Amino acid sequence: MADLLPNGERALILAPAPLSRLAFDLLDKAGIQALTAATLEELGSALDHGAGLAILDEQTLDHGNLSPLQRYLEQQPAWSDLPVVLLTHVRKGHAAPRARPIDLGNLFELRCPFDPACLLALARASLRARRRQYAARNQQQAFTALQHRVEQQLRQLREDPPYLHQARKMEAIGQLAGGVAHDFNNLLTGIGGSLELIDKRLQQGHIEALPGLFDLSRQALKRAASLTHSLLAFSSRQSLDSRAVRLQDVLSGERLSAMVDPQIVLRVRTATDLWPAHADPQQLQEALGNLLRNACDAMPNGGRLTVQARNQQLDANRFGHHALPAGDYVRLSVVDTGCGMPPSTLERAFDPFYTTKPTGQGTGLGLSMVYGFSKQSRGHVALSSRIGHGTRVDLYLPRYNEPPMSAASPTKATAVTEALDGTILVVEDDATVRTLVQQSLAQHCYRCTAVENANAALALLRNDPSIVLLVSDVGLPGMNGRQLAEIARTLRPGLNVLFITGYAENAQALGGFLDPGMQMISKPFEFARLLDTVAQMLGKATSP
């Protein structure tokens, strides 16, 4: 089944001559490619060369050889579900509809004489759904091809011992790619399916079902955001807001108890003179949550879970080739009395998407996230376990010993923020994100100008004195967002800057990256958060 454009975008029409011509002219004027077929044989031949939609008159199914159409519908691959619009007629003296000789599958009925607007709406919705089917097919083919290449290379490398290390690396890549493909295919199915059902409910006027479908889409988006966050954490490429963290607060009894199963006895021990740790508090909380969940899973019938925090002075030889710089650290330990792990599992415990849990009960990203977080925080994580004797995880974080910031440090750019009626300049190379950010700001009565690169932004900054806030992606092509902000502040001293970033290699940690008057939010973000941050930076109150 080919999908070469424009064949994959066209509507095939099989109907009596006057009706066929009417439908063809209507679609043609709307810019939709259409092709009429005189017989079922012609329709079958056209379907084999690609189609986005079939428009059939029910009278054409009353007689004749249905095998070309039937064969096509029955032999569709799993990714394909051809949309069919069936033109029906009311027969005099017959209240019941005509019996159909074959199952038409993805069917939409339209009674004749029909409203032209209804046919156009059905055609456009069907073609959008068909495009998503082709996109899903192409994505699956790409992942299958990647998996095939990885398997071929692994087979070849395993036959040659000197390349064993390379083989292991490729195996990890294949595991990572397969895990990403599996999880994102599920998420995309949830998002795409929800949007398709929303589209159908809007056409049918059943708006009472929309809130539930919107909730399903939001849940899938949150899971996708969590997955990408875990991947960035594993690769040590997330943006960290490292600061002084009191582990006494993180390990408060009520907070931890809510994360542990009731049948497990929880013990929390912290040193009385515990140093503050230098870490991102939100990411530390997530790492601790992952460790506690793993410990609870290892004790399904109950047990003891001990969480300890103490000061640790290390020399440079403590962890061999994983050595940490000598110095002061805070050690956070999570010790369970669960089933433990065999050496083969222990060796791969930090690999992404590696899990011993049943399908659907874990992504295999928990420990890999902890590993990446520890490395990016300039710390370390050590894991020890024995079958029948439980598991111990030690997370080492640097001691926070920087002098406290003076109260006058986080100053605001008063010369700029006084001009509350100015213009916000958005710099984003992704067209979709750029449009959504601009429209969201404009909807809340902000004057907003959006450009796609730093050069265009600088031209505006030199010539438009009304700009009061720069909202910029960090990972711009050419000059990045941080470099743009530096130059912008030489042109406009004190200009407030809000960075938005999905992956910024040079912005892995916020410490030292953000100057006073700068803030950062990570993609994907809720637009309510964007609006709150913009309002705060401009000194405005957010709308209720």
At the topology level of CATH, where does 243-398 sit? Heat Shock Protein 90 (3.30.565)
The pTM score is 0.46
The confidence band for 325, taking pLDDT boundaries of 50, 70 and 90, is confident
Least confident span in 268-277, 316-325, 352-361, 384-393: 352-361
Asked, colleague to colleague, whether 160-234 and 414-537 share their fold, the answer is: no
pLDDT at 1: 41
Residue 222's pLDDT is 72
Q: How far is CA 437 from CA 5, 168, 258, 477, in A?
A: 32, 43, 37, 19
Q: Is the pLDDT of residue 452 over 60?
A: yes
* Long-range own/partner contacts, residues 354-362 (CB < 8 A, 24 or more apart): 354/175, 357/297, 362/297
The pLDDT value given to residue 223: 72
Model pLDDT, residue 180: 62
Q: Which tokens belong to 209? A: 């079902």
Residues 6+ apart with CB under 8 A from 362: 297, 355
pLDDT at 357: 56
Q: What is the mean pLDDT of residues 99-116?
A: 84
Confidence of residue 286 (pLDDT cuts 50, 70, 90): confident
Q: Which fold has domain 414-537?
A: Rossmann fold (3.40.50)
d(CA 373, CA 236): 6
End-to-end CA distance of the chain: 53
| Residue 481: predicted pLDDT | 87
Is pLDDT of 242 > 70? Answer: yes
Report the percentage of the chain scoring pLDDT > 70: 76
> Is residue 79 classed exposed, middle or buried when 0-12, 13-18 and 19+ CB atoms within 10 A define those classes?
middle
What contacts 24+ positions apart, CB below 8 Å, involve 122-127? 122/85, 122/203, 123/11, 123/27, 123/30, 123/32, 123/53, 123/55, 123/85, 124/30, 124/32, 125/199, 125/200, 125/203, 126/52, 126/53, 126/83, 126/85, 127/9, 127/11, 127/32, 127/52, 127/53, 127/83
Fold of 7-127: Rossmann fold (3.40.50)
Question: CA–CA separation, 154 vs 402, rounded Å?
Answer: 48
Query: What's the mean pLDDT in 489-518?
Result: 73
Whole-number Å distance between alpha carbons of 193 and 413? 46
Q: Note the pLDDT of residue 373.
A: 79
Element (H or E) spanning 118, and its range?
A: helix 116-158
Question: What pLDDT score does 542 carry?
Answer: 44
The pLDDT value given to residue 361: 47
Name the helix (H) or strand (E) containing 329.
Answer: strand 327-336
**What is the model's pLDDT at position 234?**
54
What pLDDT score does 405 carry? 46
* Higher-confidence position of 455 and 222: 455
Q: So what's the pLDDT on residue 101?
A: 67
The pLDDT, as a whole number, for residue 187 is 67
**pLDDT value for 275:** 93
Tokens at 133, concatenated: 């089917």
Structure tokens at 276: 């503050």
- Average pLDDT of the segment spanning 130-141: 88
Q: What is the pLDDT of residue 229?
A: 63
For residue 295, give Cα distances in angstroms to 137, 306, 334, 447: 39, 10, 8, 51
Q: Average model confidence (pLDDT) for the chain?
A: 79
* Domain regions of the chain by residue span: 7-127, 160-234, 243-398, 414-537
Spatial strand order in the sheet of 264-270: 264-270, 303-314, 327-336, 390-398, 380-386
Residue range 342-358, pLDDT digits in tens: 887 777 777 665 665 55
Long-range contacts of 408-416 (CB under 8 A, 24+ apart): 409/516, 410/516, 411/516, 411/517, 412/496, 412/516, 412/517, 412/539, 413/494, 413/495, 413/496, 413/517, 414/494, 415/493, 415/494, 416/468, 416/469, 416/492, 416/494, 416/495, 416/496
As a CATH number, domain 160-234 is 1.10.287
Per-residue confidence (pLDDT) for residue 451, from 0 to 100 = 92
Cα gap 164→159, rounded to integer Å: 9
Task: Kindly report which listed range (28-32, 56-60, 180-184, 464-468) carries the lowest average pLDDT score.
Answer: 180-184
Residue-wise pLDDT for 64-75, tens only, equals 567 888 888 888
In this predicted model, which residue has the larger pLDDT, 57 or 63?
A: 57
